[in-house]
Amino acid sequence: MNELGSAAAKPPTAAPMPTAPTEAGWRRDVWPGIHWIQECGGHRAGIARAVLASGADWYAPGNELHVPQNAYLLAGERTLLWDTLSPASGHILLPALDELLGGRPLDYLALSHPDVPHAGNTMQVLRRYPDCRLVAPATGETHALYHLDDAMKVGPDDEIDLGGLRVRFPEATFLDAAIHTWMSEATTRTLFTVDWMGFPHQSGECLRRTDEIDTAVDVGRLEEFHSRVMFWFQYVVPSKVVAATDALATRFDGYGFAPAHGLPIPGEDAAPYYERLNEVVRRVAAGGRGGVL
């Protein structure tokens, strides 16, 4: 079966939103089989000032502004955790996992890349679930530095059948580190894009999908994140990046996004985001880096 799965497949409807964080931390079902664990993070006052100065209408003065970290637990007949949040939120991640798994084993821990916000709780997770198989990107030359030598290495031709869910590891179109992979899941038609497609949100929007908030995720909002994190866009030839983005849109047509630093975007809403990111690339290439995160 190819990466896109059945042409007739449609992304399922999400479970109801939580009204408040539980004792296990911030977590919810984002759609059946995929559980979302969020580290909302503290208020980013510097970014908030920049947003206000830009005149953006999606941010209300006085609200907190967050750049979240997200981890996702995929639960079929077997289970897989994608990324781990930062060490500051181990107290959120581990109780959430315990509650979501309900006594089931964690079969796989897959890391997108070894940056602290993504892999910072790896050892805590493996100590809690000692039979879990660590999964790491096959690409890169510094696996020993990050203690990933003994991990199961995966690349674009590899998949893991979770029983009811099936994940693959497409090459990351936009890398965040030398050791890096994205992930896709065919049944729910979800693309886990890591840093790319990230954006800030304000208080009241934690643990919400984009179709559950009242504010727009427009070009300016995406630019606030990408011009700081993927600032290398200032050095690119925009037409080449646009071509790569357009190819990605064709390959994953109908897939939703589950980014590491934004809010999940349902597949039926995903198509316009590719062109918004193309415009972000043009802006950053012309105007340079937007600041630091």
Determine the average pLDDT of the residues in 211-233.
Answer: 96
Q: How many whole angstroms separate alpha carbon 173 and alpha carbon 248?
A: 8
pLDDT tens column, 121-165: 999 999 999 999 999 999 887 777 777 888 999 999 999 999 999
Q: How many whole angstroms separate alpha carbon 231 and alpha carbon 281?
A: 9
Q: How many whole angstroms separate alpha carbon 152 and alpha carbon 205?
A: 36
Residue 198 pLDDT greater than 60, yes or no: yes
What is the CB neighbour count within 10 angstroms for residue 1?
9
- Residue in this structure with the two tokens 């107290």, named with its chain if needed: 91
CB-neighbour burial class of residue 120 (10 A; exposed 0-12, middle 13-18, buried 19+): buried
Looking at 68-77, 173-182, 281-290, which range is the least confident one? Answer: 173-182
Residue 233's identity, in one-letter code, is F
Helix, strand, coil abundance in the chain, percent, nearest 5: 30, 20, 50
Bridge partners for 135 per DSSP: 110, 152
CB-neighbour burial class of residue 130 (10 A; exposed 0-12, middle 13-18, buried 19+): exposed
* Single pTM value for the model: 0.91
Pinpoint the alpha helices (H) of the chain. Answer: 45-54, 90-101, 116-119, 122-128, 219-229, 238-251, 271-287
The more confident residue out of 272 and 21 is 272
What Rg, from alpha-carbon coordinates, does the chain have?
18
Predicted local confidence at residue 8, as pLDDT: 34
Can you say how many angstroms the Cα of residue 45 is from the centroid of all Cα atoms in its chain?
23
